[in-house]
Chains A and B, each alone.
Chain A
């Protein structure tokens, strides 16, 4: 298989210390197996996520995203930009769409970029890592490198919002996207066929500012996973992962629930299936340990 190369936009989550950067660690392990080369966009900046709107307004937000595009075009010409964070991907895709659709905004954005001697030529494609897996490889191809099966574990595929709406992964429905389930099944795991919180919102950044309201969302997301027999939740988004994992103990304390459900990334499952160690998969970074997966790595 030929090496595939991408301009990598890791987003803020890559800046974590190793002990908690389970997403990035597992993505790197997974990419090694798949012979994918990710080159960080030189000197990339934060995309400002969705919550940047207040102070960021429209043009400053577009301009800082376009700065990343300009950097990629200049230093990694011809490579698609790949984001692992759902919110990064969304911000970048939105920026690209908005600029492609408006000559006026494109002109103004380039005026702003010129202040740093940069220019955006509208040549980049923006993709999520999941799209790379599904479109540039495909489930069958991904399975070829499998060494261990995830047999006997039941996963709730929590897709959440931002890889699903408004753009979504091509070919999927907004109501019931199946890509996470299919990834789980590809590697021998069991995916919940019914999970009514699959595309529910966890509250996103408002988990900070509106904790009670967000925790109600999170409670539903975890409870429904339990109700349908899941042992673990799998997600494509760092903010979903953090919200759903981190707040379980808080909800337990306040509401007397006994939540203790591991929340993992698809890339962690894949790393385990590819024969990676606990460390390769970043399982040591979990707040709620995924013991059943740990056992598979030890096999």
Chain B
């Protein structure tokens, strides 16, 4: 995967256009009227480096590196508070996810970002078998035994692969499932200018 802090050639330092064309739902960013309603909606709000409102302002101001290396998008819990409140009806949740995913594709995510790590493992786990399994059962046992010192520490200390807690039945047409993902990825990479 390319690590790329440079603005890709077609955008001539126009980060807004880059976002519009390459980030999921990015074409909505210009509709933001900076009212600030979303900024007060995030459950982890006090821990956000930049609120969605600020992120959208920074995109328009061309602060590419600051946006793509921000910790902010990774604090999104997908609660959709912002979406139902935004007077301009921006799909804020998906723009946040889209920015996070784009930063991931470009290799710009801050090292050790725990949600980034968990999210990547989650996807890789499901892509392997088609399903994520037994999450709750094992989790429940895990906590019942009083083992937990916060999954975060455990994950970061690499003492445990948290995906061990997902057991696994594979789907039958695993080959087909993986072929679908591969094809979809190929099309999307092309659109994002990450290949060819």
> Do A and B interact with each other, yes or no?
yes
**A interface residues, Cβ below 8 angstroms from B:** 12-13, 15-17, 19-21, 43-46, 48-60, 62-64, 67, 108-109, 111-118, 161-162, 165-166, 174, 200-201, 203-206, 208-214, 217, 238, 242, 246-247, 249-250, 253, 287
> Which stretch from B5-13, B53-61, B140-148 is at the chain A interface?
B140-148
- Per the bound structure, the CA–CA distance linking A249 and B146 in Å amounts to 8
New A-B contacts (14) at CB < 8 Å, excluding given A60-B184, A118-B180, A205-B122? A43-B171, A52-B119, A57-B24, A63-B184, A114-B183, A115-B183, A161-B78, A161-B79, A162-B80, A203-B43, A206-B77, A209-B155, A238-B136, A249-B146
Q: Is the CB of A115 within 8 A of B171?
A: no
Task: Tell me, in angstroms, the Cα distance from A62 to B115 when the chains sit together.
Answer: 21
In whole angstroms, what is the CA distance A165 to B84 when docked? 7
Give, as a whole number of angstroms, the nearest-CB distance from B170 to chain A.
Answer: 10
The answer to whether B123 and A54 touch across the interface, beta carbons within 8 angstroms, is: yes
CB pair A213–B184 under 8 Å, yes or no, is: no
Q: CB-defined interface of B110-151 with A at 8 Å, one 1/0 digit per residue?
A: 000011111110111011001111111101100110101011
Q: Is the CB of B185 within 8 A of A51?
A: no
Is residue B182 within 8 Å, beta carbon to beta carbon, of the partner chain?
yes
Q: How far is the CB of A92 from chain B (nearest CB, A)?
A: 15
Identity of the chain A residue whose Cβ is nearest the Cβ of B114 in the assembled complex:
A209
User: Smallest distance from the beta carbon of A128 to chain B beta carbons, Å?
Assistant: 15
The 8 Å CB contact of B181, one of A54, A63, A246, is A63
A206–B48 CA distance with the chains assembled, in angstroms: 14
Chain A residues closer than 8 Å to B175, beta-carbon distance: 116
Cβ A203 vs Cβ B77 within 8 A: yes
Q: Which B158-174 residues sit within 8 Å CB-CB of chain A?
A: 162, 167, 169, 171-173
Contact A116 B143 (CB under 8 A): no
Chain B residues at the A interface, C-beta cutoff of 8 Å: 24, 43-44, 47, 75, 77-81, 83-84, 93-94, 97-98, 100-101, 104-105, 114-120, 122-124, 126-127, 130-137, 139-140, 143-144, 146, 148, 150-152, 155, 162, 167, 169, 171-173, 175-177, 179-185, 187-188, 191
A118 engages B132 (CB within 8 Å)? no
Cα-based distance from A44 to B101 in the complex (angstroms): 25
A166/B119 in contact, CB under 8 A:
no
Contacts of B152 in A (CB 8 A): 208-212
Known: A20-B137, A64-B180. A48 touches B123 (CB 8 A): yes
| 13 A-B contacts (beta carbon < 8 Å) | A15-B133, A20-B136, A51-B118, A52-B122, A57-B188, A60-B180, A63-B180, A111-B187, A115-B176, A118-B180, A166-B93, A205-B78, A213-B43
Q: Which residues of A contact B131 (CB under 8 A)?
A: 12, 15, 45-46
Contact A206 B134 (CB under 8 A): no
Nearest CB of A to B38, in Å? 13
Partner of A52, one of B24, B77, B123: B123
Q: Are B81 and A208 in contact (CB under 8 A)?
A: no
Known: A57-B188, A116-B179. A201 touches B115 (CB 8 A): no
